Structures are given as C-alpha cells and as structure tokens.
Chains A and B, each alone.
Chain A
Amino acid sequence: MSDRGSKIDEFIKLFLNAIEVEKSRRGLPLITDEKTNDPLFFDQRELRLRYLLPIKGIEDFFEGLVKGEVRYTRCKRCGRKYFPPQPDCSSCGTREMEWMRIEGTGELLTFSKVVVKPTSYLHYDDYIVGVARFPEGFNVLAWVRASDVSELEMGTPVRIEVERRQPENYLTYVLVPTKLGD
C-alpha cells in the first residue's frame, strides 16, 4: 500500500482548514491561487459519485469469480465469443448465449505502468496494466502481476487468475506471467 493516499488526505485537510479560517474571518470561502494570485471561490457543495450497475445479464461471470473461474460468452447461433462477456450478440442481434471458462494461456500484446493515478486509485502503488491475446480468440485487459515492466516483454505467456483485490476486498481477475513450460 502506498502512503501517497494519506499524504494527499493530509494536504486536503490543511487546505480545508485554511478555507475555514478565511470563512470565519471575512465570511467568504475565497482562496488566492498559488501561481497567479487570482481570487477563487471554493465551491461549498461536494458531490460523491458512485453508480449502481445492473449485472443480471452477466451474473454468471460473477458466479464464476466465486468459483475461481473467469468466464466469457459465446453466441449459440453464430459462435462469436465475447470478453468482456455480454448477454447479447452484437453480430446477430440474438440473446442466446452460453457461458464458457477461459482456460488457455495468453500472450502479452502490450503493457504499461501507471505512475500518475486517478483519485480513486491513489491508495495503490504503481500498477502494471496489460492486454493479452487468448487462444479462445479474444484479448483481455487487466492488471499484470509483476513488480516492474522490465520483467515483461511482448509475447510473455500469461494465465488469467481470480484474485481478491485489497483493500476493497472484492473479487476481480489478473494476468499472471507463467514460466515457459509451466
């Protein structure tokens, strides 16, 4: 776990305290921009966003995670395979899909290490994302279990595994490099 998140919390706390001081002094939530000295009004309304996402059509995917499997869908009519899984076939417009488990060993197509992170990811250390091609016939984008990009190259064989992401403590999946011949 990174301590960067807590440093930012500390910074925000100092900033908010300064605003409170200014409000009790003059009654205005105004701050002066550090670089330009221009006055700025600090918005007094804060909105926290979280969405509720319907997953009934792909509930099998989540049941698979609980069993340690990462599943995709295949159209019963035209055979097209989908990962991310979807309950509707974009090719033939039907909803007759079957669920399959990803079993093959994929190959890394590309990867990156994210250093500058979004607000909701600040509590993580730098993370490696990659895209791998699977023999089933689709690509998967996910984090790659490696401590640095120097351990990886194009074509590195990877398997897909279910992991419990911390600190949120929920199930998701990760690409895990395998030694050749594993």
Chain B
Amino acid sequence: MESAAVIGVGITRYGRITDRSFAEIAFEAAWEAMRDAGVDREGVDLLVVGNVGGWSSEPLPAVTISEYLGLDGNGSMRVEAACASGSAAIKVAADAVTSGQSEVAMVIGVERMNESPVTNVVELIGRAGNYFWEFENFGLTFPAYYALYANSYMQIYGAKEEDLAEVAVKNHYYGSLNPKAYFRQRVTVDDVMKSRYVAWPLKLLDCSPITDGAAALIVTSEGKAREFTDTPVYIRSIGTGTGTSNISRRDDLLGFDAVRKAAREAYRRAGIDPSRPHRQIDLALVHDCFTIAEVMAYEDLGFVRRGEGYMLVKEHQTYIGGIVPVNTDGGLKAKGHPIGATGVGMAVEVVKQLRRAADPQRQVDVRNGVALTHNVGGTGHYAYVAIYSI
C-alpha cells in the first residue's frame, strides 16, 4: 500500500505560554508548516486537530483554528486519544491521504494547559483512567499511576530511583540543546534525587511539566509528495493498541501490552525485525511522560529484554552514539508535554532529524533513514507506534 508523506512541519516553543492564545499558537505552528511545504491555505482540504482540552477555553478547537488560519471551510475534526491524541490525528490524516479521500491534509496538535490552576490540571489528567472505580473513590493522579508501575518495576527487576533519574539527566541534556524546549537547564542524578516526591517513588524531576504548545504537519500521498518538496518523509506504518481502562485489570504492572501490540503491527507493516528493531532505525522518540515510562518503552519496543531497560540508559546506550538515540529533542521530560501536541511534536522532530536539519549538536547520524515514534495515551491506555523513513 502507498504511504503517506509529511511535506511540511511547524512547531512553537513549548512552555508556559502567557502571550499567545489557543488559536494564536496553532496559527504559528500551522503557517510554519504550510510555508515549509509550499502549500497555501486554499490547498488544505482536511484539518485534523489533536487536542484534549478541558483545562482550556475552546471546546471546538478544530472550528476555532480553521477560521483563524483562514482555511476554506473544508472538513475538520478534533481527535482524542489522551496524551496520544497527536498521533491519532496523524493516523486519521495519513489514512485520508492514502485512501484518496484527501489530497493535502493538515494535522495540528495543540494544548494550552496553563489556562487552569495546577490542581485542576492534576485532577483532569488524574480522571483519565477509569473515572468511577479509580478516581471518584481513590483520587488517582497521572504521576500516581506511573508510580504504581515504577514501584512494581523496581521491586521486580531491582532498579533504583537513581537508575530512573538517568532518563531525566539524558533528556534534560538534549533539552538544553533544543531552543524550543521548555526546560533548557541540565540536571544531575543528585538534582533528581533531591527533588520532592510527587507520587512516591516518583519525584518532581521524574515528571514531565504541564505545558502549552502547538505543532503541525502537512501530509499528502507518496505519489504527490515530490510535487511539493525534495525532502518528503514517509509514514511507513502506524501500529495501534488499547489497554484496559482499569489498571487493576492488567496482568502485570511492568510494561504496556497496548504498546507491545502497537509495536508488533508497526514493525510488521514496515518490515522491521522485531527482535532487533534498533538496528534498523536511526532514532526513536518515545513517550517519557515520567522517567519510568521511557525505561518501559525500551522494553515494550524490543530494544532490550524485559527488566533490562534501566541498564540501557545507565550505560548511555540511548544517547547519540549508543545503540539507538532516544529523545534527542529533550523528550516530554524536558521539551515538555502539551498533551494533544506531543505526538505531532515527535513527528516534527523525526522529520527534521531525517532531513538532517536538527540543531547541530543533537543531529543523529542518518544511516538507515528510518525513525520511530512511540506515543502513549494515559497510562498505557492508548498506544501509537509509527515508523517514518526518507
């Protein structure tokens, strides 16, 4: 089957943004992507918006954005897959262009989380499990969900809090090299260990920040891509999976079945050897909403055997120069995690890296011309794994 092609990308800085509104940050990312693709606003025939909202003021984000961008009144929708909404939006657009339903589609991921007080944001994300059985009575929070996994993982595999901290050290290092990242300062294991507990055993510096930001892609079919650009990046496959709503209904709390399923599908359809996927890819952008999440991602994606993920980062194997560079943009941890924008922001980084146009100190060596994104919604509730290539 024909692939979809990304022909333009745009991204705002990530952070706590108080000078631009919801539509205004979408505008920045979208117009940058249109200029990059050489597509004008009349040329976009489908708008797919990845956004979760609730904490921000626009309940019909696709409509608000369509008007503000000056699009032609063509079809639009908001797509929700929690923190993987951006990847879900990419899937909708990719399916639309490969099926011929759309010629040129725009994907925008956008979130403005800082329009609400912090505790309300903590509440709204905490509600993103099973509402009645886990939130109503027990007040689970997003960090607490991942803390349940972290505690289980550490007890069974013998990893320590210091080992998880290595993920924060790596991702803050790359964040320091990314002008668009929320956190630009480097941190040490000691800094992470000294930060206060948010949900034991996870500490503040184990967590990604509450973030505002937007990212955009222009997508067309493989056959049409060269009419627009000499540097298309193809979406070879998008694998998907869904976990149980109640985390009490999972066999173990050491990794995500939904991700393993999504990875198997993505690898099969892109011709990646699932026993050594890292040998065929030049970089991976994984969903490190918490440090433990990146460690589990290594294992769920098959970069290492189960129980050995924490060793990979400890041995610097996921820095540039290791077996596979991971989160060269700073990841969710340092670049930031504007929920609905995150998956689109990962795609933007992948496209820039495969075009060899990333910031110089964090440009990976492009040998295979293949990259992976891993975007998880909730706590293994939604999973999207995608393979991109030049």
Contact = CB atoms under 8 A, between A and B. Distances in A.
- Do A and B come together as binding partners? yes
A92 interface: no
Interface stretch (A17-25, A94-102, A134-142): A134-142
Interface string B198-222: 1111100000000000000000000
Contacts of A33: 18
Interface stretch (B243-251, B310-318, B334-342): B243-251
Contacts of B200: 112-113, 115, 149
B19 A121 contact: no
B152 A109 contact: yes
A118 B148 contact: no
Contacts of B270: none
B152 to A, nearest CB: 4
Contact of A114 (B119, B127, B137, B141): B141
A113 B197 contact: yes
22 contacts: A35-B16, A40-B18, A84-B246, A110-B148, A112-B144, A112-B199, A112-B202, A114-B140, A115-B196, A115-B200, A118-B123, A118-B139, A119-B120, A120-B139, A131-B248, A138-B248, A139-B248, A139-B250, A140-B248, A141-B140, A141-B247, A165-B137
Nearest to A133: B248
Interface in B130-165: 130, 132-135, 137-141, 143-144, 147-149, 151-152, 155-156
Contact of B119 (A122, A130, A131, A141): A122
B57 interface: yes
Contact of B122 (A43, A118, A142): A118
Nearest to A32: B18
Contacts of A8: 119
A70 B197 CA distance: 32
Contact of B137 (A83, A110, A142, A149): A142
A119 B16 contact: no
Contacts of A2: none
A115 B122 contact: no
Contacts of B196: 115
Contact of B123 (A111, A119, A139): A119
A36 B212 CA distance: 14
B126 interface: yes
B118 to A, nearest CB: 8
A117 B141 contact: yes
A180 interface: no
A112 B138 contact: no
Contacts of A118: 119-120, 122-123, 126-127, 135, 139, 141
A120 B123 contact: yes
Interface residues of B, number: 43
B120 A110 contact: no
A119 B141 CA distance: 11
A116 interface: yes
Nearest to A141: B248
Interface of A: 8, 33, 35-36, 38, 40, 43, 53, 83-84, 109-122, 124, 127, 129-131, 138-143, 149, 153-154, 165, 172-173
Contact of B199 (A83, A109, A113): A113
Interface in B155-180: 155-156
A115 B198 contact: yes
Contacts of A83: 248
Nearest to B133: A84
Contacts of B390: none
Given A35-B16, A127-B138, A127-B139, 14 more contacts: A36-B16, A84-B132, A84-B248, A114-B143, A115-B198, A116-B198, A118-B122, A119-B119, A119-B122, A130-B148, A141-B134, A141-B140, A143-B138, A154-B152
Contacts of B248: 83-84, 131, 138-141
Contacts of A116: 122, 141, 143, 198-199
Contact of B139 (A43, A114, A149, A154): A114
B360 interface: no
Among B119, B130, B248, B250, the most chain A Cβ lie within 10 Å of the Cβ of B248
Contacts of A53: 132
B120 A36 contact: no
A139 B244 CA distance: 13
